[in-house]
Structure 1
Amino acid sequence: MDKYTYQEFNRTIYRQRLANGLLVQLLPMPGFHKTYAAFSANFGSIDNQFIPYHEKTAVRVPDGVAHFLEHKMFEKADHDAFDLFGELGADSNAYTSFTQTSYLFSTTSHLKDNLNVLLDFVQTPYFTEQTVQKEQGIIGQEIQMYDDDADWRLYLGLIGNLYPHDPMQIDIAGTVDSISQITPEILMQSYRTFYQPNNMNLFLVGNLDPVATMDWIVNNQNHKTFLPAEKPRRLFKLNDPTAHDVIPFRSLTMNITRPKVMVGLRGIKQFTDGRQRLRYKLTVDLLLDALFDDTSDNYLRLYNAEVLDDSFSYNFEMQRGFNFAYFSSNTNQMERFADEVVAILESADKQIDAARTRFTGIKNAELGRLIGLLDSPEAIANQYADKLFAGANLMDQIRLLKGITIDDLYQVAKEFITSQGISVYQVVPHHQ
């Protein structure tokens, strides 16, 4: 078991890659009562084309398989994993993103038993025609519910503009039609391909003894038989890496009271090194803060002119194989909002110059936010992305952030902001 000490945070991470390929990381937090676990597969909604485990021919599975699989993993022949966690006093959950599926629990007691439940239910697939058909109805209702959510439709509509020919344009849950095509055989094929231990990682943080906890995990895994490891062969590839396929504008009419607008900016820079990818993300985050946070002249000017309001938000998403930023608000001045955001982005160098005196404060605010997350076991575990950022954890992020200067913002602005990568999506009330 390797040991990595972060003296400035008084924290030590224990790390071991087991014989079956599973990466395990443990972060004890003395004085905490809660323990939080995240068991993640490097498998998400965009992984719908791949060469299945031990086969030679590529397949295209229905949209929504990763999310469907997440739902089905909890249900077994004679029990539901949620019930087992409940009996042990733990809260459990799971989520699927574009590129990852994670199974979670938090507990203040019975850590060993809860850990065994987590490992066992995720590593014991059970799919039948009957249970799959039942889940199709449940997830179909979930999809229809989100179809009525204007904020979700705004977000998904913008991604459809930014990636019109890529799987990101499809809801992570799929469509009612696509999930109707999912079968137990498709679920098992996807499970065997992506739920191999060498494509997964387990992160525990909080009240734990690292030696005893690692022994429990090793013992659990040693009592199981796994197929020989085989690296998943994904076939995901961007339709147009230069972003010239971006749709500049679309709108949707819904039964809402106020218009909603979102401006998107698709990045085109690709990375082979995970730490470089993480540093790029942290730098873009600082760039967007310099341009748009609520201490900026841009925000105050647009707020006073009622171009945006307290619903205004922005974010940068870095995923495996793609990245983008978005800027959103409810506003009665949709066109002006979009024009102003685009103008600010296109004059980024000037905007960075104007923010020079604020940069230290902006950076310290972000450092303070990340340092504050060190008191949250959930945040520490959920900030971790093994393959994406080459194993970097929250403490690594803080170290990298400290080294970023304002001059780095100019370089990132040149790489990230391109005219062909900009798009606008509106959700408009029926009466407008």
Structure 2
Amino acid sequence: MYGKVNLMKLLDGMVKKVLGNGLKVFILPMKNYNKTIAVYSTKYGSLDSEFILPGSEEKIKVPEGIAHFLEHKMFDMEYGNAFDKFSELGAESNAFTSYNNTTYYFSTTSNFYESLKVLLDFVETPYFTEESVEKEKGIITQELKMYEDDPDWQVYLNLLKSLYHAFPVRIDIGGTVESIQRINTELLYKCYNTFYHPSNMVLFIIGPVDAKEVLEFVEKHEEKRNLKSQKEIKRIYPDEPKTVFQKEIKIRHSVAQPLLLLGFKDVDTGYDGEKLLKKDIIIGILLEIMFGKSSETYERLYEAGLIDDRFGFSFEAYKDYGFCTIGGNTRDPEKLANEIIKNINSFKTKGISREDFEIIKRKFKGDFIQSLNSLDFIAHSFISYYHRGIDMFDFPLALEELSFDEVVNYIESFFDEDRMSISMVLPKG
């Protein structure tokens, strides 16, 4: 199998360990690189605004956007800001909040252990003051308003609001201007103590490091915290109908050209791990066959001037929800939407060819192997897959074992027009 030897060699040196306090640690030595990346992530995202504390029956509901708010405040330390510490050490650092996790990371070519200590220290040391929390509300309010002015974000968010009745993926990751006003230090500490417990977190390190030496460093650091492993957090999500909330939404915005996103809601949910990985690959293959840049459809739509090179598609596959998006900038959103639907229906009728299936399988395999040259890709993909119960390095085997019939069977069930919504952003005037 193409790339098998290299992948086996790569994984042979990986060290994995669950520490006594529940923290999952993965260290992957890559000796031929200069850069080292460390990623510290908690399974806590914008969806988790209602939950039950481990070991109790207490149900907690917090304002939307608090996970993102917490991410902003975590860099605050008594000594100042952790960003400045990283800069002093010559390391680049950042963080992000998604629907499902909050992730902190740095990359460096020097002072690795000093930088790792800064990462562990600031993520493990909450420091919130009433004054800084009030100041942050103003900063995030401006950020939310900035996204309101971003047509690409609005066409995407409106699609999710159309696909979902109640599931919190329809709410902006940053919350709303109203919801963040209800955030205070007490709620921040409550969410931190619940979701930033090491049992709910993972640390991934990749680069030219001695894995055993790094593990020893992390173990000594974590022992000082004197924490024990805790039970899984119970997350509470509202019941979500299988239908879409609305079929279409149009807004006017300051854009030179209309934007279109068409989406399908995945109702085959409730599982993660290998089964979720397989579905992720299947929908990816179908979208690539139907709308990829090498497809006849893409070429036809491009030649007709209905799309440009920003046209694209994606599939978000998670345990509790999933959806795909198709679209981009277009001079005629109505016509493009009709062409997309017509193309999908054509594939439903005629099916996909075995030849196209094999071509795209080889493409996916080659792309994956090629991507292993990027430490950034490995680090962030590993974390993204991990939070979905998937080992990213299972991808080649899952792809290899995927049958033509399995892919064909998904066309009819997934691309159901009853579970489709359309979002458009049109020019003002």
- What band does the TM-score fall into relative to the shorter chain? over 0.9
In structure 2, the residue matched to 1:161 is 162
Could you say if the C-alpha distance between residues 42 and 18 of structure 1 is closer, same or farther in structure 2, counting changes exceeding 3 Å? same
In structure 1, the residue matched to 2:217 is 216
Q: Deviations over 1:138-192 (max 9, x none)?
A: 1111111111010010111111111132211111011111111100011111111
The aligned runs of 1:40-55 (5 Å cut-off) are: 40-53=41-54, 55=56
What TM-score, normalized by structure 1, do the two folds share? Answer: 0.94
In structure 2, the residue matched to 1:425 is 423
Cα distance in 2, alignment partners of residues 219 and 123 from structure 1 = 14
Could you say if the C-alpha distance between residues 99 and 238 of structure 1 is closer, same or farther in structure 2, counting changes exceeding 3 Å? farther
In structure 2, the residue matched to 1:262 is 261
**Runs of 4+ with >4 A deviation:** none
Equivalent residues of 2:266, 2:322 under 8 A apart: yes
Cα distance in 2, alignment partners of residues 352 and 24 from structure 1 = 44
In structure 2, the residue matched to 1:149 is 150
Q: Could you tell me how far 1:110 is from its partner in structure 2?
A: 1.5
- Matched residue type, 1:103: Y
Bigger mean CA offset, 98-107 vs 364-373: 364-373
Bigger mean CA offset, 9-18 vs 149-158: 9-18
In structure 2, the residue matched to 1:181 is 182
Identity percentage over the alignment? 35
In structure 1, the residue matched to 2:83 is 82
Q: Could you tell me how far 1:108 is from its partner in structure 2?
A: 0.9
Cα distance in 2, alignment partners of residues 46 and 342 from structure 1 = 30
Cα distance in 1, alignment partners of residues 84 and 350 from structure 2 = 53
- Matched residue type, 1:62: P
Could you say if the C-alpha distance between residues 375 and 402 of structure 1 is closer, same or farther in structure 2, counting changes exceeding 3 Å? same
Could you say if the C-alpha distance between residues 325 and 273 of structure 1 is closer, same or farther in structure 2, counting changes exceeding 3 Å? closer
Q: Could you tell me how far 1:331 is from its partner in structure 2?
A: 1.2
In structure 2, the residue matched to 1:390 is 389
In structure 2, the residue matched to 1:37 is 38
Q: Give the unaligned 5+ runs of structure 2.
A: none
Equivalent residues of 2:53, 2:234 under 8 A apart: yes
Q: Deviations over 1:301-325 (max 9, x none)?
A: 2222222222211111113411110
In structure 2, the residue matched to 1:334 is 333
Cα distance in 2, alignment partners of residues 192 and 218 from structure 1 = 20
Could you say if the C-alpha distance between residues 238 and 287 of structure 1 is closer, same or farther in structure 2, counting changes exceeding 3 Å? farther
Could you say if the C-alpha distance between residues 271 and 104 of structure 1 is closer, same or farther in structure 2, counting changes exceeding 3 Å? same
Q: Could you tell me how far 1:350 is from its partner in structure 2?
A: 4.0
Residues 1:311 and 2:310 aligned together: yes
- Matched residue type, 1:316: F
> Structure 2 residue aligned with 1:364, among 362, 365, 379?
362
In structure 1, the residue matched to 2:246 is 247
In structure 2, the residue matched to 1:345 is 344
What TM-score, normalized by structure 2, do the two folds share? Answer: 0.94
Aligned residue pairs, count = 422
The DSSP-based 3-state class of the residue aligned with 1:252 is strand
- Matched residue type, 2:344: L
Cα distance in 2, alignment partners of residues 38 and 409 from structure 1 = 34
The aligned runs of 1:13-24 (5 Å cut-off) are: 13-24=14-25
Q: Could you tell me how far 1:123 is from its partner in structure 2?
A: 0.8
Cα distance in 1, alignment partners of residues 304 and 284 from structure 2 = 25
